[in-house]
Amino acid sequence: MLNYTRYERNPVMDYPGRKWPNKEVEKAPIWCSVDLRDGNQALIDPMVVEEKIEMFQYLIKLGFRDIEIGFPAASQIEYDFLRQLVDRKMIPDDVRVQVLTQCREELIDRTFQAIEGCKQVIVHIYNSTSSLQRDVVFGMDREEIINIAVQGTKWVKERAAHFPGKIILEYSPESFTGTELDFALDICTAVQETWGATKEEPIIINLPSTVEMTTPNVYADQIEWMNENFKNRESIILSVHPHNDRGTGVASTELALLAGAERVEGTLFGNGERTGNVDVLNVAYNMFSQGIDPKLHIERINESIEIYERCCKIPVHPRHPYAGKLVFTAFSGSHQDAINKGVKAMKERESKIWKVPYLPIDPADIGREYEPIVRINSQSGKGGVAFIMDTYFGFKLPKGMHKEFANAIQHISEKQGEVSPDQIMEKFREEYLEQKEPIHFRKLKVDDLSEETTSRFDTKVTVTYTDYGVEKVFEAVGNGPIDAVKRGLQEVLGEEMKILDYEEHALQSGSSSQAAAYIHLLDVDWGKVTYGVGVSSNITRASVRAIFSAINRLGIGRKNREN
């Protein structure tokens, strides 16, 4: 039995005055990447120095200006990494490297040795404040926990006074989500006052959801309550560091921004301890999809994926928001049809605003290929197959033809699963363009009879074709070439036919363009209908080929031979 009684609900604060539900995200926060610290420590195979350098340089390229590079006092590789960044002059003047350290004097000393030569550094100190950790880990009361944070602040302040560069202090009450709010406020205020934060020289107060413990709205309430109750609020940059234990890291981040957070710490694609940190790219792309400048250069998502997967040795899930291989695809027939119509509507209306069903953004805007939007399997419908034929190959199938051809593709997908565009085109050739037996069109001569007033028809055609390989010729008259060819075929095949519909279009622009013609043909005697397709640089020849294609698909030539 699933023993749910072992767990109890986390308390929800009584906060009827909350304001965040009526707000909207209007601008990007200050982004801080923790890929090289929080993300790296969670890797099965942590990055080596050169991999960390590659990731650092890429984070700068993306636009991050706050980058937590590690815990240099606790790891020789992280110490060496920071020294390489400094010695090789790889830290741009506008980038603030961030280093993490516990509130222990020997670690703070080692940290200041590591940052020597940096122009501006965020020194990030922390200690755990939750009621559970105070009880079972530290065995300390509130005052003792506050003393740890205050003493750590004093040590940093003393060393910052002699540091030639600029030091910004960041303080995190670790396990904030499990900390009583009044105590969280007390310890943050004690650090703030000890540091002497001002509007001109603010402190970063980082309120981490170290472990997601309840729904995102509760985290938003906690952030807003702190935001409303801080003293000298203008001297604080309010930061959040959400994790994803409940799978709601992105939601927690977005609601925290509504609640007053100004800064977000997270990782690319959500790498991190347990279920990971918040995916900062996901949050940034969400903003982008709402017409907000994310202040990150995220238009080349494939590049981000490639570097992340190589350095972290973790694949991006195929359903990962924005980045997954399958997120801009549609297998459902109704989805495919809606996407097809949405794209066509945008083109016809010359719309500058992206509005396509099932696609919140244009994949091309973030460097994704447009082609894989629709993929065909046994669940796909006629609209998806038509979309592939149009998008990939330029064939704009008549609406009545969609189901006929989709049925042929479904037979393939039921046997093998997904069907590639090339396979779809090959089947199209087989079903329509290569239908040359038993009768195969060869040559066409068209004469204008409009000057001959005695004739009720205006066109005469001479058609050369083969019947089971034997060359034959017929002449016929009609109202236009298509009508004349149809009449001539009726006579030589002894079968009554009726053209129900006819469409044509250019396949490509330019002097060498070809035309595609579609004939919807009825075998009157047998009551069967089908489509035929022809392609040629001459539209009349394309139309004649389409008639022959339809006749062969109906089997009229074979019936005539059998009879």
- The CATH number assigned to the domain holding 446 equals 3.30.160.270
DSSP 279: B
The number of helix segments (H) and strand segments (E) in the chain equals: 18, 14
In this prediction, residue 448 carries a pLDDT of 86
Yes or no: say if 323 and 304 are a contact pair by the CB < 8 Å rule: yes
Peptide bond into 481 cis (omega under 30): no
Q: How far is CA 69 from CA 73, 203, 275, 455, in A?
A: 12, 19, 21, 90
Domain-embedded: residue 500: yes
H or E, element range at 432: none
The answer to whether residues 167 and 71 belong to one domain is yes
Distance of CA 56 to the CA centre of its chain: 23
Token look-up 């199938």 returns: 397
H or E, element range at 353: none
Yes or no: say if 75 and 120 are a contact pair by the CB < 8 Å rule: no
The answer to whether residues 159 and 297 belong to one domain is yes
Longest CA–CA separation in the chain, Å: 114
In this prediction, residue 547 carries a pLDDT of 96
Contacts of 230 (CB under 8 A, 6+ apart): 185, 188, 189, 192, 205, 236, 238
H or E, element range at 97: strand 96-102
Which domain-ending residue is among 246, 281, 312?
Answer: 312
Number of domains in the chain: 3
Domain-embedded: residue 412: yes
The answer to whether residues 117 and 231 belong to one domain is yes
From CA 261, how far away is CA 415, in angstroms rounded? 53
The answer to whether residues 306 and 339 belong to one domain is no
Closest CA to 118 of 150, 95, 146, 147: 95
The answer to whether residues 129 and 229 belong to one domain is yes
Full residue range of the structural domain in which residue 551 is found: 439-562
pTM: 0.78
The answer to whether residues 424 and 517 belong to one domain is no
In this prediction, residue 378 carries a pLDDT of 58
Q: Name the 3-class secondary structure at 266.
A: strand
In this prediction, residue 86 carries a pLDDT of 95
The answer to whether residues 264 and 352 belong to one domain is no
Q: Name the 3-class secondary structure at 209.
A: strand
The answer to whether residues 487 and 426 belong to one domain is no
In this prediction, residue 502 carries a pLDDT of 95
From CA 549, how far away is CA 433, in angstroms rounded? 7
Domain-embedded: residue 516: yes
Domain-embedded: residue 5: no
pLDDT in tens, the chain (563 residues): 788 888 888 888 899 999 999 999 999 999 999 999 999 999 999 999 899 999 999 999 999 999 999 999 988 989 999 999 999 999 999 999 999 999 999 999 999 999 999 999 999 999 999 998 998 988 999 999 999 999 999 999 999 999 999 999 999 999 999 999 999 999 999 999 999 999 999 999 999 999 999 999 999 999 999 999 999 999 999 999 999 999 999 999 999 999 999 999 999 999 999 999 999 999 999 999 999 999 999 999 999 999 999 999 999 999 999 999 888 887 777 787 888 889 889 999 999 999 999 999 999 999 986 554 566 765 666 777 888 898 889 999 999 999 999 999 988 888 888 888 899 999 999 999 999 999 999 999 999 887 665 567 889 999 999 999 999 999 999 999 999 999 999 999 988 999 999 999 998 755 568 999 999 999 998 899 999 999 999 999 999 999 999 999 998 766 555 54
In this prediction, residue 415 carries a pLDDT of 87
From CA 84, how far away is CA 254, in angstroms rounded? 36
Domain-embedded: residue 125: yes
Task: Indicate left, alpha or beta for 138 from its phi (over 0: left) and psi (-120 to 50: alpha).
Answer: alpha
Closest CA to 191 of 248, 159, 231, 141: 231
In this prediction, residue 512 carries a pLDDT of 64
The answer to whether residues 46 and 194 belong to one domain is yes
From CA 454, how far away is CA 250, in angstroms rounded? 80
In this prediction, residue 413 carries a pLDDT of 86
The answer to whether residues 142 and 286 belong to one domain is yes
CATH number of the domain enclosing 225? 3.20.20.70
The answer to whether residues 422 and 509 belong to one domain is no
The answer to whether residues 185 and 294 belong to one domain is yes
